[in-house]
Structure 1
């Protein structure tokens, strides 16, 4: 079920408002990638051993957006674009009824100079919930 929900979220981020396309990376940053970009991780409440009757339950997908820029202002700008693309949007997931995407948590930009170049990473966590379509 995670694939279907991820497939609904990634295009929303890729279509984020702005003068240039938002670079959206799903789970990994390629070598040499320069900011700005949004690195996205997904997690869900769907354990592999879920029984068939649990198929009728509410599904929750957490969307972890690492909004990366060359400085704090740039990281905030990336985060603002990601927020505009996700917050309050009701995505389409085949066979599911979705609620609007909500912001769950977040952190201010943090410095990272581990590669020798300063980047700032602002993390925002969003939640998408769905139930089987009626």
Structure 2
């Protein structure tokens, strides 16, 4: 069970989305031009009592997916967010050796303006959750 295996499953779902969705894993290249989806991943230590077996070991793995939908205006950013939602929400990904639950959306923010580079970009962040247990 690794973060990478779960992250790869999510990235594969995003890259398989219809159309040309530009998906970036954790970094934007210097020449990166919107629109794109910048994705970050973080594992979560599940502290819920029902996540642990009777022996006290946790078997559940929880991955949070932070999807930054970046576009040159609000409409583009919204459209990217909807494409990410369609690609991930309620989908049960395949991770070798694991049984996954459907991906859920946990949180989101409306698009935020950023003109720090002299060019307007809008960034919408949505947070998704992927959970699995050993197969």
| TM surpasses 0.5 | yes
Q: Conserved in 2, the CA contact under 8 Å of 1:56 and 1:132?
A: no
- The CA distance in 2 between the partners of 1:71 and 1:43, in whole Å, is 28
Aligned to 1:23: 22
Aligned to 1:102: 104
Q: Measured at CA, do residues 130 and 112 of structure 1 come closer, stay the same or move farther in structure 2, by a change above 3 Å?
A: same
- The CA distance in 2 between the partners of 1:42 and 1:72, in whole Å, is 24
Q: Conserved in 2, the CA contact under 8 Å of 1:92 and 1:98?
A: yes
Does residue 119 of structure 1 match 2:121? yes
Gapped regions of structure 2 (runs ≥ 5): 46-54
For this pair of structures, how many residues does the alignment match?
126
Gapped regions of structure 1 (runs ≥ 5): 47-52
| 1:61-81 CA distance string (max 9 Å, x none) | 000000011001110001111
1:32-111 matched pairs, under 5 angstroms: 32-45=31-44, 57-111=59-113
Does residue 8 of structure 1 match 2:9? yes
Pairwise CA RMSD of aligned residues?
Answer: 1.6
Aligned to 1:49: none
| 1:13-72 CA distance string (max 9 Å, x none) | 111123xx10000000001211110000000025xxxxxx77651100000000011001
- The CA distance in 2 between the partners of 1:30 and 1:117, in whole Å, is 17
Runs of 4+ in 1 over 2 A off after TM superposition: 53-56
**TM norm structure 1:** 0.89
